[in-house]
A and B are shown apart, each in its own frame.
Chain A
């Protein structure tokens, strides 16, 4: 059963399309198999590319000899660093003003003299068939000289440790200082200090990285690729030494992203090969390649030292944060910043000091993944809240309630919190929805319940100066077109824009077509990342649709002899609100406007709040447009003999401001619950001495249909978000509290805590043993 509650506690007015669980415009194509993904496209005369990858996590490349590979019949090109001297993958966030990257840490497109992780690209083969390309890889002779390596941030921080990239292994650092934590700690009744660790995990989208590139008749390098970011056309142009207007990214429906298709994947390999061979070139990563060689979620080690009063007030918080950046930096500075800003969670603490490092190692590089550092922070701060409560012999929900932030409070970086803050409401509803406690099915089974609250940003860091654009227009027959560069990664990004337009212009959903994800032909809308598209492109679309409505509404008011604000639009008709019998069909109104040369379309740009960068010493300053608040509660069973954990019930309750499509919003929350279950219990990309020993879904264990508990979703709508109709983002936030809620439930069940994710049976048994020996 789908359990979805959507109580209208803020008494928001009903709308015609907004909030309804309408079937998504992209759904029928997907379920019937008609939808083409990037890897489904072919071109005449197409070649297939494969990439040769490093066999060592750290080595000098003495030589690369491709003579035998080039001689293999069917091989058209073997490309190495010599074919693209000095080019690097620009790993920063595209289209932003102001970065936090250390120079010289970008990855080379193809390694020339040095490899820094196992799986680093060394050569590209383009051949007539994928099989020949694969065969050719085995004929390329690479002479390596293994070099010393570091595999943990702790090792990498030691004096004399091998340096991954000069000058040292600290590739990003943030400090946030509010008040005086050290002094305030002295007045605490109780101080609790604990360390929490998280693991590498894989995005494991079902569609592996894929794309096809060709040079078109105008000399434009055109790349159809599965991506969250069409704006990479700029960094592709830089890497391949082309003008920016000679690179064209065409998206496709993305078969899952979760941050893993935020960085460049196949684009430069197939782009370079297409330029060199003058033929279309396709490349699809194998699953092993995707796990081995593309980015992972950052493992974090987070130590909290918190001073509290005996009655449960948080006084001071000192947090040290360390993230494993892997061999190249990519988005580590920003992931680290999100973790730092979120370090104390949704709690009011007047004295905070956060000291955070991202450290290079010879592991697979780490980068964006749903939750983007804020999720790892929550794993730590929400387990820590339970441990503080235990130290105080207090109900952890009561401890939270005492300390939740309120509207008007400031975050550790000094940003004022605005809008409704329904932390307590969400926690209470999530907890209550667990219902009756389950009975243990046998004497060695214990049942436990846990909760986690969170606050998490939606929209990009405000000193990126983020914008999105959308074009909305009406055709002569009353159908509507939306053009917006938004990549749809499965969250219903395109459908959201259609549903907003349907509401504003009164056009039925089945008469709206959305064109998206094209860097040349659709207005650039920015990345589908940072839970920003509904907020940013939703607002851009809303603005554009409202501009069209204004022109048509004004003209209709003349025709209907009423005031412009008395005009309403619904069901392809324009009418007087209080007297719908006074009306004109949308098509007749469009014809009237066309005959008079009035515009029936609008291109609109939406700007997020723009701020300056944070103070580098204290981390003070505004950082995000706004926050989503919520909670997740779970009930688990633990087998005290085997250590096996099963999640029995799982409830997410979030204030999403306003649901645009309630089924899509609930779908995000249900999916986030499952992904959080995997993060908590089974998923672990194990990289042992630089070698990934879990390179397939046989070792890397995703939740299956059999693992899914009774799942409930509660959508609250305060109407106070910054998105269209008061909406807030939910794509990433809903994932964040799930794993710590599970960890808290397991700790409750067994009476002790595993401080490292995932909670494998071995670790749970060990924790049980330790607690029984105390």
Chain B
């Protein structure tokens, strides 16, 4: 399987990288140092490897990297940094929504995709949008609340 040079745009930076056709986006991203994309099952069951592709959350373990060429990829680190956190980051910290933290990058990206579509989501929409992201530590309760709080925060900071 011959590698091909493809171009991946990750968090606004474009990388040229030689990849075999069978390399998943998960492995391509992690090999490029994006270890904020977590590997939990490699079968699309757990959601830990979620990334935004043109604004839609996708399990990167299920997508071949070649298919992500010329698309905008965003990982959880692309939303903000510890110095400049995104309101979702901040709400997850403030509410104690992260315990071991391993599921959280995927969880936050699912929440981001939801809030982009539905800035004021219902509880049902929050649950549904996160139902593909497994968490073993928190029982999800604080995660739901963090998404609500972030939605309020984002709503109040929207430009007039």
B-binding residues in A (CB < 8 A): 1-2, 21, 23-24, 26-37, 39-40, 203-208, 253-258, 284, 286-287, 489-492, 661, 663-664, 666-667, 670-675, 696-698, 702-706, 708, 711
Known contacts A34-B82, A256-B102; A671/B138 CB under 8 A = yes
Instruction: Determine whether B35 belongs to the interface, using a CB cutoff of 8 Å to chain A.
Output: yes
Question: Dominant SS at the A interface?
Answer: loop
Closest B residue by C-beta to A2? B145
Instruction: Determine whether B46 belongs to the interface, using a CB cutoff of 8 Å to chain A.
Output: yes
Q: From B82, B142, B144, B145, give the contact of A29 (CB < 8 A).
A: B82
Question: Dominant SS at the B interface?
Answer: loop
CB distance from A45 to the nearest CB of B (A): 16
A-binding residues in B (CB < 8 A): 30, 35-43, 45-46, 48, 75-77, 79-82, 85, 88-89, 92-105, 108, 126-128, 130-145
Residues of B within 8 A of A708 (CB): 127, 139-141, 144
B85 touches A31 (CB 8 A): yes
Residues of B within 8 A of A491 (CB): 99
Residues of A within 8 A of B130 (CB): 705
Q: How many Å lie between the Cα of A27 and that of B143 in the bound state? A: 13
B96 touches A21 (CB 8 A): yes
Residues of A within 8 A of B144 (CB): 705, 708
B128 touches A258 (CB 8 A): no
B100 touches A254 (CB 8 A): yes
Known contacts A287-B43, A711-B141; A37/B102 CB under 8 A = yes
B100 touches A286 (CB 8 A): no
CB distance from A47 to the nearest CB of B (A): 15
Q: How many Å lie between the Cα of A28 and that of B102 in the bound state? A: 13
Residues of B within 8 A of A28 (CB): 82, 85, 89, 93
B100 touches A490 (CB 8 A): yes
Residues of A within 8 A of B132 (CB): 704
Residues of B within 8 A of A35 (CB): 101
Q: From A207, A257, A661, A663, give the contact of B40 (CB < 8 A).
A: A207
Closest B residue by C-beta to A255? B102
CB distance from B107 to the nearest CB of A (A): 9
Residues of B within 8 A of A21 (CB): 96
Q: How many Å lie between the Cα of A490 and that of B126 in the bound state? A: 24
Closest A residue by C-beta to B99? A490
Q: How many Å lie between the Cα of A696 and that of B44 in the bound state? A: 10
Q: 4 extra interchain contacts, Cβ-Cβ under 8 A, other than A27-B92, A490-B137, A702-B134?
A: A23-B93, A31-B89, A34-B77, A492-B99
A32 touches B76 (CB 8 A): yes
A706 touches B127 (CB 8 A): yes
A287 touches B100 (CB 8 A): no
CB distance from B132 to the nearest CB of A (A): 8
Q: How many Å lie between the Cα of A539 and that of B127 in the bound state? A: 39
Q: How many Å lie between the Cα of A711 and that of B92 in the bound state? A: 18
B104 touches A698 (CB 8 A): no
B100 touches A206 (CB 8 A): yes
Closest B residue by C-beta to A21? B96
B138 touches A27 (CB 8 A): no
B46 touches A697 (CB 8 A): yes
Residues of A within 8 A of B45 (CB): 287, 696-698
Residues of A within 8 A of B138 (CB): 667, 670-671, 674
CB distance from B2 to the nearest CB of A (A): 15
Closest A residue by C-beta to B128? A706
Residues of B within 8 A of A674 (CB): 138-140
Q: From B42, B48, B92, give the contact of A206 (CB < 8 A).
A: B48
CB distance from A497 to the nearest CB of B (A): 16
Closest B residue by C-beta to A702? B134
Closest A residue by C-beta to B46? A697
Q: From A2, A671, A706, give the contact of B95 (CB < 8 A).
A: A2
Known contacts A1-B145, A24-B96, A706-B127; A671/B137 CB under 8 A = yes
Q: How many Å lie between the Cα of A704 and that of B139 in the bound state? A: 9
B43 touches A696 (CB 8 A): yes
Q: From B131, B136, B139, B143, give the contact of A256 (CB < 8 A).
A: B136
Q: From B48, B100, B105, B139, give the contact of A489 (CB < 8 A).
A: B100
Known contacts A2-B145, A702-B134; A255/B43 CB under 8 A = no
B46 touches A670 (CB 8 A): no
Residues of A within 8 A of B77 (CB): 32-34
B142 touches A670 (CB 8 A): yes
Known contacts A28-B89, A711-B139; A23/B100 CB under 8 A = no
Residues of A within 8 A of B140 (CB): 670, 674, 705, 708
Residues of B within 8 A of A36 (CB): 35
Q: How many Å lie between the Cα of A275 and that of B77 in the bound state? A: 36
Closest A residue by C-beta to B80? A32
Known contacts A205-B102, A490-B99, A663-B95; A705/B133 CB under 8 A = yes
B134 touches A30 (CB 8 A): no
B142 touches A697 (CB 8 A): no
A255 touches B142 (CB 8 A): no
Residues of A within 8 A of B81 (CB): 32, 34
7 pairs of A and B residues whose beta carbons are closest in the complex: A33-B36, A490-B100, A30-B101, A255-B102, A674-B139, A663-B96, A697-B45
Residues of B within 8 A of A257 (CB): 100
Q: From B42, B89, B103, give the contact of A32 (CB < 8 A).
A: B89
A287 touches B85 (CB 8 A): no
Closest A residue by C-beta to B93? A27
Residues of B within 8 A of A33 (CB): 35-37, 75-77, 105
